[in-house]
Amino acid sequence: MMADSGSNEEVAVIGNTDITSTESESNIINTMVERETALLRKMEINVAEAEKRTGKNTVNMQETYTVYLIEIRPAETVPGVGAPAAPDTLWRRYSDFELLRTFLLVTYPYIIIPPLPEKRAEFQWHKLSADNLDPDFVERRRVGLENFLLRVASHPVLSNDKIFFFFLTEEKGWREAVLETGFQDKADSRLKSLSAMFRVKNPDKRFTAMKQYSDELNTVISQLLRVRARVADRLYGVYKVHGNYGRVFSEWSAIEKEMGDGLQSAGHHMDTYAASIDDILEEEEHYADQLKEYLFYTDAVRSVCKKHDLIQYELEMAAQDLVSKKQQREELATGTVRVFSLKGMTSKLFGTESQEQRESRLAALEQSIQEGEEALKEKNTECQEFVQMAWEDIERFKEQKDKDLREALISYAIMQISMCKKGIQVWSNAKECFNKM
């Protein structure tokens, strides 16, 4: 299954420390593309642009929203030959993506569905605004949406979904098509899945462990993101205050003779230093986004585990139902009342029923038992299939997570190195200027 192109291996290897973080990011995207699903063999997917639109919403009020341009290009078979074909494009807004994802969640409950980028900005440090129309936020969301599409497109199961295909190719009529599938009816009520979670008796231990892991992961990544935002905030403060040196040294240099030149040029370097933090922290946001993706993934993992609980619970209910019906049959057949039942009570109080009534009841019960056994068998199969498919996807997910997060940590290290190199440059220059004083 590994691509033979050889340029990017499954494990993105860092050839030198000068690789930039954007290069490292594209390494991750490349590893996704490398998985070569049928879909990706056919097409290249981009979320190219974002645009503001205004229109009437469902309650007939004016609103401003952002749409994203999806570009599909046929995958190049022979690179570099001929002009690249013009892409097919269509516009989608965030709520369309949400609808798609909900559809996938319901239709493939045993798959860990990739998460969407956040709807509203969270874990911000003070400089970034929480405004959804802020250009930086929109840009990062664009990247996140492209990421989402690529994740789905590179998934062995999800990439074959027709609705997904239409999402990429049919601008009009897609929403109707989705709703027509009637997927909403298949969605489990929250109450049902909640009660299942508490009442299931014998869940598969692996799923229990996985659920616990995903809860813990959620907690630890949240904490990490919060602290990181605070650290970024403080670092911003330190760098920006150095900018004041620029102004003050310049003023001081005006009154000095021999020291003037050295001070003035040192001041310029301080200005450079203060300005450099903006780019540095902008890059770090990409790292935060990578962590956030996996934070949101934990919700998807949790969903799969909950679905397992539900199915297992239904299986247990079906088995229990069958057992109680068989008991009833036994009681009816032998006339013994083993377990307290209303029927037993009423027959004691009001007299037993006639032989005919008993036989017709027995027959109905037999029918019911047979149906129950069918249902149980079905449920069992369903459960086994679910467990198998879900666990397969969980293994795939674990591998993906390990690789992606290792890449993320490496790109973080690269960012830190770049920041250190800039710092070394500035202070070497400042040192030279001070020397000339």
Partner 1 sequence: MVVQQRLLVVFTLRAAWKVQQHWAEVRLWRVSLFWLEISLKLHSLCGVFLGVSVNSSEFPSVFPPAACRLSACCWTEMSALFPAHLDLEEEEDLEVFSKKTSLTDGGPNSPSSMMNQYRLEAEEEEEEKEEKELFVTVDHPESHVTAIETFITYRVLTKTTRSDFDCSEFEVRRRYQDFLWLRSRLEENHPTLIVHPLPEKFVMKGMVERFNEDFIETRRRALQRFLSKISEHPLLSCSPHLKIFLTTQDLQSHKKQAPGFLTRVGETVRAVAHSVRGVRSRPEEFTLMQEYVEQFSSKISSVDKVTQRIIREQREYVDEMKQYSPPYSQWGGMEEALQLPLQEVAGCVQRCSTETQLQLQHLSTVLLPALHEYMLCADTLKAVMRRRDNIQAEYEARREAMEKRGDQEGEEVQALQEKVEVCNSSLQVDWSRWRSSMRTDLKTALLSTAESNLQHYEKCLAVWETFLLSQREEGSEQKEEEAP
Judged by the rule CB under 8 A, the positions of this chain that interact with partner 1 are 9-14, 17, 213, 216-217, 220-221, 223-224, 227-228, 230-231, 233-235, 237-238, 241-242, 244-245, 248-249, 251-252, 255, 258-259, 262, 266, 401-402, 405-406, 409-410, 412-414, 416-417, 420-421, 423-424, 427-428, 430-431, 434-435, 437
**For residues 87 and 125, is the Cβ–Cβ distance under 8 A?**
no
Smallest distance, partner 1 to C-beta of residue 276, A:
12
Question: Is 92 or 269 the residue whose CB approaches partner 1 more closely?
Answer: 269
* Distance of closest approach, residue 46 Cβ to partner 1, in angstroms: 28
Which H or E run includes 74? strand 62-74
CB of 104 to partner 1, least distance (A): 27
Task: Please report which helix (H) or strand (E) contains residue 146, including its range.
Answer: helix 135-153
Q: How far is the CB of 11 from partner 1 (least distance, A)?
A: 5
Closest to partner 1 by CB, 73 or 403? 403
| Count of CB atoms situated within 10 Å of the CB of 408 | 22
Q: How many Å apart are CA 208 and CA 105, to the nearest integer?
A: 20
- Measured from the CB atom, the residue of 90 and 232 that comes closer to partner 1 is 232
**Identity of the residue, 101 or 268, whose beta carbon is nearer to partner 1 in the bound complex:** 268
Q: Which is nearer to partner 1, 44 or 233 (CB)?
A: 233
Closest contact distance (angstroms) between CB of 415 and partner 1 is 9
Q: How many DSSP H helices and E strands does the chain contain?
A: 12, 3
Residues in a beta bridge with 64: 54
* 2 versus 339: smaller Cβ distance to partner 1: 2
Phi, psi of 15 (to 5 degrees): -75, -40
Interhelix angle for 135-153 vs 94-107, to 10°? 30
- CA–centroid distance for 383 within its chain: 25
- Identify which of 44, 28, 33, 35 has the alpha carbon closest to the alpha carbon of residue 2: 35
Q: Name 71's bridge partners.
A: 46, 89
DSSP H helical ranges for 183-259: 183-186, 190-199, 205-253
| DSSP for residue 6 | -
Minimum distance of partner 1 from residue 56's CB (angstroms)? 45
Shortest approach of partner 1 to residue 282 CB, angstroms? 18
Please, which residue, 190 or 257, has the CB nearer to partner 1?
Answer: 257
In this structure, which amino acid lies at residue 221? I
Shortest reach from residue 158's CB to partner 1, in Å: 24
Closest to partner 1 by CB, 35 vs 307, is: 35
In order, the DSSP letters of 162-176 are HHHHHHHH--TTHHH
Decide whether 241 or 333 has the Cβ nearer to partner 1. Answer: 241
In contact, 437 and 263? CB cutoff 8 Å: yes
Nearest to 328 by CA among 356, 354, 363, 380: 363
With H, G, I as helix, E, B as strand and everything else as coil, classify residue 68.
strand
Rounded to the nearest whole angstrom, what is the least distance from the CB of residue 429 to partner 1 in the complex?
Answer: 9
